[in-house]
Structure 1
Amino acid sequence: MSDFKVLTYTSKDYKIWNDFLDASKNGTFLCHRDFMEYHKDRFQDQSYLIFKKDKLVAIFPANKSNHILYSHQGLTYGGLIVSKETSFKTVLKAFKSLLETLQSSGIEELILKPSPRMYHTHPSDEMEYLLFKLQAELIRKDLTLAIDTSQPIKITASNRKRGLKKAIKQGLIIKEETDLDLFWNQILIPNLVEKHGVTPVHTLEEITYLKTKFPNKIRQFSVYKDNEIVAGTTVFETGKVAHAQYISANNLKQELGSLDMLFHHLINEVYKDKAYFDFGVCSENSGKQINSGLQSWKESFGASSISHDFYSVFPKNHILLNDVLI
């Protein structure tokens, strides 16, 4: 009889889930129940807790649609989240138990999107090996652009430096704000609608709610000229990474150098002690194409490409894990 049991998350597990997440080596606040549940009306949550005897050893944020289980579609990443002390053997048996449970409950496919390595506080590649053994199919690969702050930062475009000089000359001021209304309503939403015909993933009401729940992890930095907002970014801050979730500026960004000044300040001052500054993805069409202009712009700050992989796993393939340990 297995020492492992897999339980479906319910509201009574709120505290044990979040406490485990906070002590994990590959989870971030995006997998906190308060973050996951702001859009609970859009997804059929089917998250799991995995125990070895009576000890919680892994959690799996997920939602269900028909006979497919997804690494939660409302999150950028997720996957199997484990503690710093969890051994490879425990990860193996925990994930195998999860797959067995999925198969017995009628789940035919698992779409998995593990968190990129830069978000791990400790090495956590156990799942990379298990996915290889399970003959998982790589179905999507996004590219995100990030700066490794432990290395000398090389600004590759001279116009970044010129932009910073312009911003200083123009007397621009950077403010950290608790209120996101001005950035959302005057900069971000108008830009996205005009240029792409879309609105932000988060509504103003949603991002405001999330900021009240995570005031030190969701931060708003705005740029002003003569008391008028001209640019800004909303940053999601995790243990090792500062991620620019939203970036936008008005039509005078080239003349003012507003974004050049903003990111120079964030990278070299506010987040200089973070391991990475993440500018976000530049891939489109489910990872099949790269927005070359966006890629070049982010690279010009000294950022380099980091992949974010998505996998398809068939739960029935759990038998392929039987011979891993010898």
Structure 2
Amino acid sequence: MEIINYTEEWKEKWDNFILESNNGTMFHLQRFFDYHTPGKFNFHHLIFLDKGNIKALLPGAIINNVFESPIGASYGSIVTKDVKFVEAMEIVSTLIEWGKKNGIKEFTLTSAPMIYEKHPNQNLDFAMLWQGFKYSLHYISSAIKLDKNVDIIERFSPTIRRNIRKSFTDFNLKIEINDRYDQFYPILLDNKARHGVKPTHTYDDLIKLTELLPDNLKLFMVYKDEKPIAGSLMFFANRTVAICFYNMLYYEYAQYKPIQRVMYEVVKYCTENDYQYVDIGVSQDTKAENPMTPSISLIDFKEKFDAKTIMRNTLNLKL
């Protein structure tokens, strides 16, 4: 097995491998990386070849002799098909040898949680740990396991159920799946400003992503008397998991509980369209000194939608 550097001529084969893989996501696609302004990141993506055939892919970049993955994305690390343990061991040992030969001092790799895999398979994780990688960071995420045989509203807490039912009657909220990013983005800006931060994506970023990956983004907008008051931007990472990337509202309309209603609509849509999980994202206290500090109130809110904890783990190896 050998490792070569990615070049544009591999783009179609790269993306096809990701789509056919066991653990790849939209965040591993070259089409996804294309939304970044050229030159913003000095990408150094790697292709693992065995007799000319792709065996694994690793997006990322080298920064001060540290290979980091992901860069400019939510998830990274090594993408494979449903590999046997011996194959996983060879992929990891090949990466380590490549690192030593190319002056890499450290690897920092953050993969998608295991729920993103078509077939849960921790061969790669164990192979990395056995060959010297160690966990360096854990983030707490929350995900809802979808089940067509369970009534959606009944899964939620009594207060959430009551508010969702009111949204159909007393509050008279309307939900649309549309492309009105011109309506959504001001809500996103207003929401983030309340927490003293800016969105990960600019308006132009979101428009470009919808053009590059039209099947992977869906915008659920909430209207009260025709006024947009909230929205949920979903990233459909692969055929297994959909992510609530942004759940945002105008706080002056908080009494109508638009986020609770839109969460119901999102879970309903994803259940009906055969997804396995809705990932509601990480729940860290971003103002705490320790980046792993959990946000108890946020976790508690997500648990009201029957979400369970999953972990986003970072593995590190110093050479």
Which of 297, 305, 310 aligns to 1:301? It is: 305
Equivalent residue for 1:271?
271
Superposed, 1:112-151 pairs within 5 Å as 112-150=109-147
In structure 2, give the amino acid aligned to 1:250.
Y
Alpha-carbon distance in structure 1 between the residues aligned to 2:305 and 2:64: 43
In structure 2, give the amino acid aligned to 1:120.
E
Runs of 4+ in 1 over 4 A off after TM superposition: 151-156
Aligned CA distance change for structure 1 residues 183 and 212 (closer, same or farther; 3 Å):
same
Aligned CA distance change for structure 1 residues 156 and 269 (closer, same or farther; 3 Å):
closer
TM-score by length of 2: 0.92
Q: CA deviation at 1:50?
A: 0.6
Equivalent residue for 2:5?
8
1:130-180, Cα deviation, whole Å (9 max, x unpaired): 122123221110011111113856645332122213311221100011231
Does 2:89 align with 1:88?
Answer: no
Equivalent residue for 2:184?
183
Equivalent residue for 1:206?
205
Does 2:248 align with 1:248?
Answer: yes
Secondary structure of the residue aligned to 1:38 is: coil
Moved more, 93-102 or 197-206: 93-102
Which of 42, 45, 68 aligns to 2:43? It is: 45
Alpha-carbon distance in structure 1 between the residues aligned to 2:40 and 2:141: 26
Moved more, 140-149 or 92-101: 92-101
In structure 2, give the amino acid aligned to 1:11.
E
Equivalent residue for 1:107?
104
Secondary structure of the residue aligned to 2:73 is: coil
Q: CA deviation at 1:190?
A: 0.9
Superposed, 1:15-94 pairs within 5 Å as 15-39=12-36, 40-84=38-82, 86-94=83-91
Q: List runs of 5+ in structure 2 lacking aligned partners.
A: none
Secondary structure of the residue aligned to 1:115 is: coil
Secondary structure of the residue aligned to 2:251 is: coil
In structure 2, give the amino acid aligned to 1:113.
T
Equivalent residue for 1:321?
none
Q: CA deviation at 1:91?
A: 2.3
Does 2:318 align with 1:311?
Answer: no
Aligned residues: 309
Equivalent residue for 2:160?
160
Alpha-carbon distance in structure 2 between the residues aligned to 1:155 and 1:91: 38
Alpha-carbon distance in structure 1 between the residues aligned to 2:104 and 2:21: 27
Moved more, 119-128 or 104-113: 119-128
1:53-108, Cα deviation, whole Å (9 max, x unpaired): 11111111111101100012212112111123x33222221221121111111000
Alpha-carbon distance in structure 2 between the residues aligned to 1:102 and 1:36: 23
Q: CA deviation at 1:270?
A: 4.3
Moved more, 159-168 or 173-182: 159-168
Aligned CA distance change for structure 1 residues 269 and 62 (closer, same or farther; 3 Å):
closer
In structure 2, give the amino acid aligned to 1:102.
G
1:158-207, Cα deviation, whole Å (9 max, x unpaired): 3212221331122110001123121112x1111101x2111110111001
TM-score by length of 1: 0.90
Moved more, 65-74 or 249-258: 249-258
Identical positions, percent:
24
Moved more, 147-156 or 173-182: 147-156
Equivalent residue for 1:235?
234
Alpha-carbon distance in structure 2 between the residues aligned to 1:205 and 1:76: 18
1:9-42, Cα deviation, whole Å (9 max, x unpaired): 1112111111111111110111110212322533
Q: Give the conservation status (yes or no) of the 8 Å contact 1:143–1:287.
A: no
1:215-247, Cα deviation, whole Å (9 max, x unpaired): 111110000011100110000112111110001
In structure 1, give the amino acid aligned to 2:98.
T
Alpha-carbon distance in structure 2 between the residues aligned to 1:22 and 1:270: 19
In structure 2, give the amino acid aligned to 1:305.
T
